């Protein structure tokens, strides 16, 4: 490869300004990933407060008002601060490497879209110290909770969301333009690695729905400050309209948070099964189908608002239809593993846990899709169990798997496999101990977002809290593993995984500051 010869005369700038001024996709990828790790711990601390309060029935530690702020901020930070930036970080590192491009197409925009985030979240977190407290209306900020009854900090919340939205939109534009215009010569769309395909589709979802989020928070702002009545019946508006506009954004949003993880898993499973991915074309089409369906199912979040029967049926059946392309993906991953010569290094363990646990989350999603049953499940811990199963062992495990998988190429060092296995098993036990009992208390009728509960839920809640403490502390081990790898890890080989294919493995280890300054020759491979 000629790529590394040129790196000699132009390396990264020295000192801290490197990170502020950088336009390098690898630096920006690292910034995104470190930022999201910090946010994971801030959001995790809030989850810790929630679970400590719910350890026993009764009010022990915090007042209900503060509890509401914790549930709201936990959701906002984990979604917009931890999961989404982590995926943008992975895209920054991997998309150019996987398509043989020298960098992202719009490097300065890339720097800008990252550096909006620390300011957005500083603003959001500062509301915790304001009179009246942080936003307390749930991350879904339903009107009138976020309008008539909102704390004064709602204005800061609105502008923080605007900034996060701008950051995501610019990041998505960058990904799309890079994939369309900067592929190595001869790489056709149907040659793209699945991680790249998933991100392309995710980026289009972001472009389509983040502006709708911006619109709905703007309407909230106008209702609060400018006397409009978008969501107030007194002035001719309708609070139910809020839910329609919000979920038009928020349902595609849940796929934004999981499609890139699908992509990661589709890279890892073939590597450790030492077989090519089963049904590449079907995987691409399934991802497109999921993205399309995500636009026409939003009202399944609001079966109980008093929709007509025809509406309930429409949203029920379209929601169930999503299980078909998702099932295609799950079966293709299983078929890829079938008769493969599998080994179980840490990334593979996280990937397999992803398939198993995400499927459990998908199954409880199908249960929730049944409109008549949803009237029982609505706003209970069953919903909490469902979306945490798809987000934690789904999205978060996907991100962790990706980090273990590509870390040797990024850092040039190998992580400690033994500690990685410990990290996996403790996380696996922790996550199930936390979220599985929530199904039971939810089905028995325990409501979400309430700081106290009836005595019969006490045992399961204690188990959940213990699991949450285990899962949370285990992530400190993850940080220790990362630091140990970067500081004193064994030198990684050029191809750290025997079965790995793809352009990203053709660059030297660690990946030099500039790669593919001359496009790779795809014919030679």
Partner 1 sequence: MRHWLKPSSPSGLILIVVLMFGFGFALVPLYDVFCEVTGLNGKTKGAYQGDINALAANSDRTITVQFVANRNDNLPWGFYPEQEEIKLTVGERKQIHFSVNNSYNRAVVAQAIPSVSPPQAADYLNKIECFCFQRQPLAAGEAKQFPLVFFVDPALPEEISKLTLSYTLFDISERDASGVD
User: Where along the sequence are the contacts to partner 1 (CB under 8 A)?
Assistant: 106, 109, 169, 172-173, 176-177, 180-181, 207-216, 219, 226-230, 233-236, 238, 240-241, 244-245, 248-249, 308
**Minimum distance between the CB of residue 150 and partner 1, rounded to whole angstroms?**
15
Residue placing its CB nearer to partner 1 in the complex, 247 or 382: 247
Q: What is the phi/psi pair of residue 380, to 5°?
A: -110, 175
Q: Which one is catalytic: 274, 448, 449, 484?
A: 448
**Minimum distance between the CB of residue 200 and partner 1, rounded to whole angstroms?**
10
The 3-state secondary structure of 486-504 reads HHHCEECCCCCCCCCCCHH
**Minimum distance between the CB of residue 297 and partner 1, rounded to whole angstroms?**
16
Active site residue 301: yes
Residue placing its CB nearer to partner 1 in the complex, 235 or 276: 235
Q: Which one is catalytic: 26, 251, 388, 413?
A: 251
Residue 195 CA, distance from chain mean position: 14
d(CA 152, CA 275): 56
Active site residue 294: no
Active site residue 386: no
- Strand, coil or helix: what is 380? strand
Q: Which one is catalytic: 25, 26, 51, 74?
A: 74
| Prior bond of 144 cis (ω within 30°) | yes
**Minimum distance between the CB of residue 387 and partner 1, rounded to whole angstroms?**
23
Active site residue 17: no
Active site residue 139: yes
Cβ atoms 421, 349 nearer than 8 A = yes
Active site residue 168: yes
**Residues 54/59/63/64 CA torsion (nearest 10 deg):** 60
Active site residue 329: yes
Active site residue 167: yes
Residue placing its CB nearer to partner 1 in the complex, 237 or 412: 237
What radius of gyration do the chain's Cα atoms show?
Answer: 23
Residue in 516, 496, 501, 346 with CA at minimum distance from that of residue 409: 496
Q: Which one is catalytic: 167, 294, 427, 465?
A: 167
Cβ atoms 67, 138 nearer than 8 A = no
Active site residue 465: no
Residue in 411, 329, 316, 286 with CA at minimum distance from that of residue 33: 411
Q: What is the secondary structure of 12-28 as a DSSP string?
A: PPSSTHHHHH---HHHH
Active site residue 115: no
**Minimum distance between the CB of residue 214 and partner 1, rounded to whole angstroms?**
6
- Token readout for 134 is 């942080």
- Token readout for 398 is 């996907």
**Minimum distance between the CB of residue 233 and partner 1, rounded to whole angstroms?**
5
- β-sheet bridge partners, residue 182: none
Active site residue 423: no
Residue placing its CB nearer to partner 1 in the complex, 130 or 233: 233
Residue placing its CB nearer to partner 1 in the complex, 92 or 127: 92
Centre a 10 Å sphere on the Cβ of residue 26 and count the other Cβ atoms it contains. 22
Residue placing its CB nearer to partner 1 in the complex, 200 or 355: 200
**Minimum distance between the CB of residue 219 and partner 1, rounded to whole angstroms?**
8
Q: Which one is catalytic: 326, 364, 464, 506?
A: 326
- Strand, coil or helix: what is 57? coil
Residue placing its CB nearer to partner 1 in the complex, 44 or 151: 151
Q: Which one is catalytic: 301, 386, 439, 514?
A: 301
Active centre residues (catalytic): 74, 103, 139, 167-168, 251, 253, 255, 266, 300-301, 326, 329, 448
């Amino acid at each position: 490869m000629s790529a590394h010869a040129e790196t000699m005369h132009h390396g990264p700038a020295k000192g801290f300004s490197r990170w502020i001024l950088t336009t390098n996709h690898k630096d920006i990828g690292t910034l995104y990933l470190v930022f999201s790790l910090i946010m994971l711990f801030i959001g995790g601390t809030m989850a810790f407060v929630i679970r400590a309060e719910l350890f026993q029935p009764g009010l022990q530690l915090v007042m209900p008002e503060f509890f509401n702020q914790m549930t709201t901020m936990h959701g906002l930070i984990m979604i917009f601060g931890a999961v989404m930036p982590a995926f943008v970080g992975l895209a920054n590192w991997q998309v150019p490497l996987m398509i043989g491009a020298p960098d992202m197409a719009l490097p300065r925009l890339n720097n800008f879209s990252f550096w909006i985030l620390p300011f957005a979240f500083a603003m959001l977190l500062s509301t915790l110290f304001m009179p009246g407290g942080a936003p307390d209306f749930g991350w879904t900020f339903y009107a009138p909770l976020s309008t008539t009854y909102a704390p004064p900090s709602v204005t800061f919340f609105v502008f923080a969301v605007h900034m996060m939205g701008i950051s995501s939109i610019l990041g998505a534009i960058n990904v799309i333009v890079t994939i369309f215009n900067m592929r190595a010569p001869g790489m056709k769309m149907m040659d793209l690695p699945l991680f790249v395909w998933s991100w392309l589709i995710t980026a289009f979802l972001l472009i389509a729905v983040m502006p709708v989020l911006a619109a709905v928070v703007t309407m909230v702002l106008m209702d609060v400050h400018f006397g409009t009545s978008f969501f107030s019946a007194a002035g001719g508006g309708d609070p139910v309209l809020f839910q329609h506009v919000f979920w038009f954004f928020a349902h595609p949003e849940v796929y934004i948070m999981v499609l890139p993880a699908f992509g990661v898993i589709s890279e890892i499973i073939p590597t450790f099964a030492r077989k090519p991915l089963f049904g590449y074309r079907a995987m691409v089409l399934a991802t497109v189908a999921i993205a399309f369906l995500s636009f026409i199912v939003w009202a399944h979040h609001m079966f109980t608002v008093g929709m007509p029967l025809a509406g309930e049926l429409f949203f029920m059946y379209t929601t169930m239809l999503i299980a078909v392309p998702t099932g295609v993906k799950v079966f293709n991953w299983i078929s890829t593993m079938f008769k493969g010569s599998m080994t179980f290094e840490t990334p593979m363990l996280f990937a397999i846990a992803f398939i198993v646990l995400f499927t459990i989350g998908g199954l409880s999603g199908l249960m929730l899709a049944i409109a008549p049953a949803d009237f029982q499940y609505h706003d209970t811990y069953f919903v909490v169990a469902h979306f945490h199963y798809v987000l934690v062992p789904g999205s978060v495990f996907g991100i962790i798997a990706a980090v273990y998988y590509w870390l040797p190429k990024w850092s040039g060092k190998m992580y400690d496999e033994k500690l990685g296995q410990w990290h996996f098993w403790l996380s696996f036990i922790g996550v199930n101990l936390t979220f599985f009992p929530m199904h039971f208390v939810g089905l028995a009728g325990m409501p979400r977002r309430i700081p106290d509960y009836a005595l019969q839920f006490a045992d399961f809640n204690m188990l959940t809290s213990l699991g949450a403490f285990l899962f949370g502390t285990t992530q400190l081990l993850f940080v220790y593993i990362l630091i140990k790898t970067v500081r004193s890890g064994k030198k990684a080989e050029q191809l750290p995984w025997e079965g790995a294919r793809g352009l990203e493995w053709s660059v030297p280890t660690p990946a030099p500051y500039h790669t593919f300054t001359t496009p790779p020759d795809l014919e030679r491979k």
